Amino acid sequence: MGESTITGARIRPAVQLVGLRKVFGTAANEVVAVDDVHLEIGEGEFFSLLGPSGSGKTTVLRMIAGFELPSAGAILLEGQDVTRLAPYDRDVNTVFQDYALFPHLSVHENVEYGLKVKGVKKTERRRRAGEMLESVRLAQLGSRRPSQLSGGQRQRVALARALVNQPKVLLLDEPLGALDLKLREELQVELKQVQREVGITFVFVTHDQGEALSMSNRIAVFNHGRIEQVGSPRDIYDHPSTSFVAGFVGTSNLLNAALSHRLFGVDAVHSLRPERIRLVHAEVADGETCVSGTVTDIQYLGADCRLRVTLDNVDGTTSGDRMLATVASDGLVGVALGGPVRLAWPRFAAYTVSSTDPTTDQTTDPMRVDFTGGTPP
Amino acid sequence: MNLSRAARWVLRGATWLGLAFLYTPLIVVAVLSFNTATSLSWPPKGLTLDWWRKAWKVDGPSDALVNSLQVAVVATIIALLLGTLAAFAMQRFTFFGRSSLSFLLVLPIALPGIVTAVALQNSFSRTIDLGLFEFRIGFGFHSLVIAHATFCVVVAYNNVIARLRRSSANLLEASADLGAHASQTFRLVTFPLVRSALLAGGILAFALSFDEIIVTTFTAGSGFETLPQWIFANISRPNNVPLVNVMATFVMLVSIPLAWMAQRLSDGDGIGTGR
Ligand SMILES: Nc1ncnc2c1ncn2[C@@H]1O[C@H](COP(=O)(O)OP(=O)(O)OP(=O)(O)O)[C@@H](O)[C@H]1O
Ligand SMILES: [Mg+2]
């Protein structure tokens, strides 16, 4: 898969966030939900806001939609300042996490709602809503009430209700969060397909890094209300610029400064993906870094195995530095629990990352394993 | 569930017995309102429509009925207005003392009627000195309306706030997001959502007011009589017992469709159950 042709830099931005900040609460007890966010989201882009719970993703989305007034900064839609416009005066639509379908209206009436309040003629709006329902494969269910639909169907109604207005930007707040895994994966594909067809800019909030990696043109990774990194899924995965991103997106070994100094002669935290590490049976190749250690755990995952290794010091004593390696199950000959092992990786596989707020980010434990299925695209 | 034949018969019998227990007295009253004799004898000696005719001709019962209806209607309207406004405010805004206020709003219905009655009677009879001027509420139609509104507000408030709580807060935002102005949102979303709750609350409030007697006795004053008061006063006068039966039957006939409607409105029409 090549690089996406759609990146914010090349096309007129649909959304610009300039120094956006949002503070909740009273002066004595304030919560900075969003801080100093600068972003440009290109027209037609599928852009994800990724981050852990409470990192401010929803707040950013609500400010773009017009439900919250920023404490500072500006929001531009296609170059126009909309910071102080009411939601109904903005050409954006939202798909809410709980869908927020009107319970007293039928599916068809729900989809028609936006056209109705804008004064579109009855026959015209019936037709357009019908077409929209057709394209999300719900044409047969138009007369039902939302309470008579399954979760996946409600999700599609919410999507249709927003898209029928042909907004400049569609905002989606964890639209798949309430669905089970299987349905979720199905709808991920479907959503992506719809986005390609309609060509509308999608701003997609998720805390699922796999979802963000597989669907987005670009991703902004949030932590504590700030953006840690913006880039294509490949960028984010292969070149995480901070230890937080390295730990949050996929699984990473974070090699602390002391270990890095010993291994690379550089006094900075490095990130190393477990799947870049191989077992050394014979020779170390040119340009590889090699360490030895003791196997403390072997986790069998099918095609792959996950090894936990405690590294040795140069003098052969145990250092206490730990490392996670994902290796092919086939190659596991001669490796036993508690036995010695040698690991190697290409020198360029380890990246310097800047360490962010070590007290609160979740990457202080290099063995943190919450790999939720994100694969490098 | 599989029940043995015998068990089914026992259950069926018990159901009918329960219904008979509840409804026999009502049916007896209804039948006696057509009885030719004035005494409460059973079985009726013969059937007649005389009492029904007479009930509308003599002064007491029909005046009392009209009084009751007027009080109930006005108290219900006031209760719906205040209760709805309070419910919207409580749902929409957070402010200091909100939960205490919510408790204070529903308290009147939990207090024994006699306590409310004494308290209201006391305040209505006092002359209140406000420095610049003084006034006394006094007794009559208006005092009764105020008294009834105190507990009717609770019913209206409870119904509306329950509906508002059950419907997702996002609905109003979704409406604005889709381009609706505040007035459109109210007309197309908020009002339709609370409409059936309002109606159910209104019917309940009306019913509460209509048959209230304790608070009424204390706050009506001497010149004003409601139907429950008239019935209570005349049940002990043998000559008027048939008229009492007529009024009771009439009220029953009117209540049945109202109760049925309130029941229909308050349990599930699919509305307000969130998404
Ligand atoms: N209305 C509010 N009043 C006070 N604090 C708020 C409000 N909304 C959000 N916050 C706070 O702002 C921070 C960011 O919240 P936000 O909802 O944007 O996070 P999020 O990234 O969407 O998280 P999640 O993945 O759990 O939805 C949190 O600390 C939250 O407690
Ligand atoms: Mg959120």
What's the confidence (pLDDT) of residue B58?
79
Do A44 and A183 reside in the same domain of the chain? yes
Contact B226, B60 (CB under 8 A): no
For a pocket test of ligand 1, which of A17, A22, A24, A227 has the largest count of ligand atoms closer than 8 A to its C-beta?
A24
Q: How many whole angstroms separate alpha carbon A45 and alpha carbon A304?
A: 34
Peptide bond into B43 cis (omega under 30): yes
- Domain-terminating residue out of A245, A270, A285: A245
CA A222 / ligand 2 centre spacing (Å): 12
Q: A5 lies in a domain? A: no
Other Cβ atoms within 10 Å of A303 Cβ, number: 8
Is there a single domain that holds both residue A109 and residue A156? yes
DSSP class per residue in A143-209: TS-GGGS-HHHHHHHHHHHHHTT--SEEEEESTTTTS-HHHHHHHHHHHHHHHHHH--EEEEEES-H
Mean pLDDT (chain A) is 86
**Cβ contact B171–A102 (<8 Å):** yes
Q: How far is the CA of A33 from the centre of ligand 1 (A)?
A: 6
| SS3 label, residue B127 | strand
Residue A3: is its pLDDT beyond 60?
no
Strand (E) or helix (H) holding B85: helix B59-92
Q: Which residues surround ligand 2, an ion (CB under 5 A)?
A: A 58
Using one digit for the tens of pLDDT, what is the confidence trace for A69-94?
999 999 999 989 999 999 999 999 99
Residues A152 and A263 grouped into a single domain: no
Q: What is the pLDDT of residue B274?
A: 36
Same domain, A140 and A186: yes
The ipTM value here is: 0.78
Using DSSP, state whether A305 is helix, strand or coil: strand
Q: Which residues of B touch A177 (CB under 8 A)?
A: none
Instruction: Quote the tokens at residue A86.
Output: 């009411």
pLDDT: is A100 or B104 the higher one?
A100
- A332-355 per-position pLDDT tens digit: 888 889 889 999 999 888 888 887
Same domain, A67 and A101: yes
Of A245, A266, A288, the one marking the end of a domain is: A245
Q: What is the pLDDT of residue A373?
A: 36
Q: How confident is the model at residue B267 (pLDDT cuts 50, 70, 90)?
A: low
Query: Any idea where the domains of chain B sit in the sequence?
Result: 58-273
Cα A58 to ligand 1 centroid, rounded to whole Å: 7
Instruction: Give yes or no: residues A204 and A307 share one domain.
Output: no
d(CA A194, CA A192): 5
In the three-class reduction of DSSP (H, G, I as helix; E, B as strand; rest coil), residue B39 is classed as coil
Query: Domain end: A245, A275, A301, which one?
Result: A245
The answer to whether residue A3 sits within a structural domain is: no
Across the interface, of B170, B176, B272, the residue whose CB is closest to A88 is: B176
Does ligand 1 lie within 6 Å of residue A373's CB atom?
A: no
**CA dist A129 → A95, A126, A135, A155, B177 (Å):** 16, 5, 10, 16, 17
Residue that wins the pLDDT comparison between B55 and A204: A204
Distance from the CA of A218 to the center of ligand 2, in angstroms? 19
The strand pairing partners of A15, in sequence order, are A41, A77
Residues A66 and A136 in one domain: yes
CB B145 within 8 Å of CB B93: no
- A270-272 vs A253-255, strand pairing mode: antiparallel
**pLDDT surpasses 80 at A369:** no
SS3 B201: helix
Examine the pLDDT at A315 and tell me if it is beyond 80. no
> Domain span at residue A122?
13-245
On the 0-12 / 13-18 / 19+ scale of CB atoms within 10 A, B177 is buried
A291 and A366 housed in the same domain: yes
Which residue in A92, A93, A104 is closest to B271 by CB distance?
Answer: A104
Is the CB of residue A67 less than 8 Å away from at least one CB of chain B?
yes
Do A115 and A134 meet the contact criterion of CB atoms below 8 Å apart? no
- A216 and A358 inside one domain: no
Q: What angle do CA A61, A63, A69 make, to 5 degrees?
A: 160
Supply A250's token pair. Answer: 């996929």
**Distance separating alpha carbons of residues A309 and A324, to the nearest angstrom:** 6
* Whether residue A54 has its Cβ less than 6 Å from ligand 1: yes
Q: What is the largest CA-CA distance in chain B?
A: 79
Q: What is the side-by-side strand order in the sheet with A270-272? A: A253-255, A270-272, A350-352
Shared domain for A335 and A240, answered yes or no, is no
3-class state of residue B142 by DSSP? helix
Strand partners, B110: none
Mean pLDDT of chain B: 83
The answer to whether B199 contacts chain A (CB < 8 Å) is no
A228: tokens are 């840690």
pLDDT digits 0-9 by tens, A123-175? 999 999 999 999 888 889 999 999 999 988 999 999 999 999 999 999 999 99
Kindly state the DSSP code that residue A364 receives in the 8-state scheme: S
Instruction: Please count the structural domains in chain A.
Output: 2
Residue B188 DSSP code: I
Q: Which residue of B has its CA nearest to A170?
A: B177
Q: Which helix (H) or strand (E) holds B266?
A: helix B241-266
- Give me the numbers of helices (H) and strands (E) for chain B, helices first please: 12, 2
Asked if A268 and A331 sit in the same domain, the reply is: yes
With b for 16 or more beta-carbon neighbours within 10 A and e for fewer, the A333-357 pattern comes to: eebeeeeebbbbbeeebbbebebbe
Kindly state the DSSP code that residue B35 receives in the 8-state scheme. B
By the 8 A CB rule, do B68 and B228 touch?
Answer: yes
Mention the CATH class of domain B58-273.
mainly alpha
Assess whether the C-beta atom of A67 lies below 6 angstroms from ligand 1. no
Q: What pLDDT score was predicted for residue A319?
A: 76
| CATH number where A137 lies | 3.40.50.300
- Tell me the CB-side half-sphere exposure of residue A377, using CA atoms within 13 A: 22
- pLDDT of A4 reads 43
Chain B residues closer than 8 Å to A102 by CB: 171, 174-175, 189
Question: For the whole prediction, is pTM greater than 0.90?
Answer: no
Cα of A206 vs centre of ligand 2, distance in Å, is 8
Atom of ligand 1 nearest to the CA of A52: 25
Nearest ligand 1 atom, CA A225: 14
Q: Is the C-beta atom of A59 inside 6 A of ligand 1?
A: yes
In a domain, A2, yes or no: no
**Tell me, what CATH number does A288's domain have?**
2.40.50.100
Q: What's residue A312's pLDDT?
A: 86
Residue A268: band (very low, low, confident or very high) from pLDDT cuts 50, 70, 90: confident
Domain co-membership, A190 together with A113: yes
**CA neighbours within 13 Å on the CB side: how many for B54?**
16
pLDDT greater than 60 at residue B217: yes
Q: SS3 of A289, please? A: strand
